[in-house]
């Protein structure tokens, strides 16, 4: 009986000790709230025909950012000064500030969290929902995993001083160019067999290139390369490829691109992109290509 009592006490003590040890050594669960105080909240706007950015510095965290690049959709982005190491889901909400005491917090769903210094990059409809909330005086709220296990980060955007900056941002969006460099960097113009007439269906694309050159000074020139399929003699194809390159260049000059910004080259059938064995393959090779060049080594 005494031995049984002794073992029971030992077991009880061991269970208590293990519980205490687990509590002591298990990761702590806590979080931090990051937001700008009322007297320091500010919104900034970056304006360009190529991008529009509306952003708020968040002390000790980084920034909350709305960004819309030319030719793309709008994004909401969190930029963190510290790297996030864990992918997860962020919890989203619309929080009423303390002066809207009759309003309650509204859940706004979830979005992906990725590792790195931009843990959140969410596409529509979230950016528009957050902007509508800010315009109405509410605070968008994002909770995501923090810097170590058991740590949660909560980020709130303040609607204080939002309205004037938002109006500038909307004006920027209305003047945003409809395409960006990546979308216009390469263009292919196709031709009928043994022809070099430029089809009107390409006019709009070429006008977009002309307009882009006017707003992006980094583009130094347009490299124009004429090509043919393998039908015909080498000398004839070489001349045909020259005509195909020059007819495109002539249109670009007509709509206002200086000749000094055009580099014209022609190659005959030397550089096919398809095998020339079928009508469809030969059609792909009857082409003039355009490439916007920012000073990289010529291909």
pLDDT in tens, 184-212: 999 999 999 999 999 999 999 999 999 99
Mean predicted lDDT score pLDDT of the chain: 90
Are residues 65 and 55 in contact, defined by beta-carbon separation less than 8 angstroms? Answer: yes
In DSSP notation, the chain reads -HHHHHHHHHHHHHHHHHHHHHHHHSPP-EEEEE---TTT---EEEE-SSEEEEEEEETTTEEEEEEEETTS-EEEEEEESS-B---EEEEEEEE--TT-TT---EEEEEEEE-SBS--EEEETTHHHHHHHHHHTT-EEEEEEE-SSTTEEEEEE---TT-HHHHHHHHHHHHT--S--HHHHSEEEEE--TT--PPPGGGHHHHHHHHHHHHH-TT--EEEEEE---S-S-HHHHHHHHHHHHHHHHHHHHHTT--GGGEEEEE-TTSS-SS-SSSHHHHHHHSEEEEEEESSPPP-
Does residue 7 surpass a pLDDT of 70? no
pLDDT score recorded for residue 299: 58
User: pTM of the full predicted structure?
Assistant: 0.80
Give the pLDDT band of residue 147 (cuts 50, 70, 90): confident
pLDDT of residue 295: 86
Confidence of residue 297 (pLDDT cuts 50, 70, 90): low
Domain boundaries, the chain: 30-174, 181-293
Q: Within its chain, how far is the Cα of 202 from the centroid? A: 27
* Highest-confidence segment of 10-24, 93-107, 276-290: 276-290
Give helix 203-215 / helix 234-254 axis angle, nearest 10°. Answer: 60
**Quick check: 87 pLDDT over 80?**
yes
CATH classification code of 181-293: 3.30.1330.60
Q: How far is CA 152 from CA 86, 119, 138, 139, in A?
A: 11, 13, 22, 18
C-beta separation of 190 from 286 below 8 A = yes
Q: Quote the pLDDT of residue 89.
A: 94
Select the CATH number that applies to the domain covering 30-174 from these four: 3.40.30.10, 3.60.15.10, 2.60.40.2540, 3.40.50.720. 2.60.40.2540
């Amino acid at each position: 009986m005494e031995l049984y009592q002794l073992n029971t006490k030992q077991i009880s003590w061991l269970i208590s000790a293990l519980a205490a040890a687990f509590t002591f050594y298990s990761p702590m669960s806590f979080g931090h709230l990051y937001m700008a105080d009322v007297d320091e909240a500010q919104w900034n706007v970056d304006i360009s025909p190529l991008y529009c950015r509306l952003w708020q510095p968040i002390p000790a965290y980084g920034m909350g950012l709305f960004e819309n690049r030319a030719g793309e959709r709008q994004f909401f982005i969190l930029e963190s000064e510290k790297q996030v190491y864990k992918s997860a889901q962020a919890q989203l909400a619309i929080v009423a500030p303390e002066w809207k005491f009759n309003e309650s917090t509204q859940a706004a769903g979830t979005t992906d969290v990725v590792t790195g210094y931009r843990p959140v990059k969410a596409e529509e409809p979230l950016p528009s929902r957050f902007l509508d909330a800010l315009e109405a005086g509410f605070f968008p709220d994002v909770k995501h995993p923090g810097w170590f296990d058991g740590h949660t980060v909560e980020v709130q955007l303040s609607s204080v001083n939002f309205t004037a900056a938002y109006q500038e941002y909307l004006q920027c969006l209305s003047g945003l160019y409809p395409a960006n460099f990546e979308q216009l960097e390469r263009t292919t113009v196709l031709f009928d067999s043994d022809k070099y007439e430029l089809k009107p269906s390409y006019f709009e694309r070429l006008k977009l290139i002309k307009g882009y050159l006017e707003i992006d000074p980094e583009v130094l020139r347009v490299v124009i390369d004429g090509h043919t399929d393998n039908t015909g003699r080498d000398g004839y194809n070489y001349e045909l490829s020259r005509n195909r390159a020059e007819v495109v260049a002539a249109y670009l000059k007509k709509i206002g691109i200086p000749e000094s910004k055009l580099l014209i080259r022609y190659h005959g059938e030397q550089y096919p992109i398809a095998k020339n064995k079928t009508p469809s393959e030969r059609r792909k090779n009857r082409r003039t290509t355009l490439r916007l060049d920012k000073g990289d080594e010529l291909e």
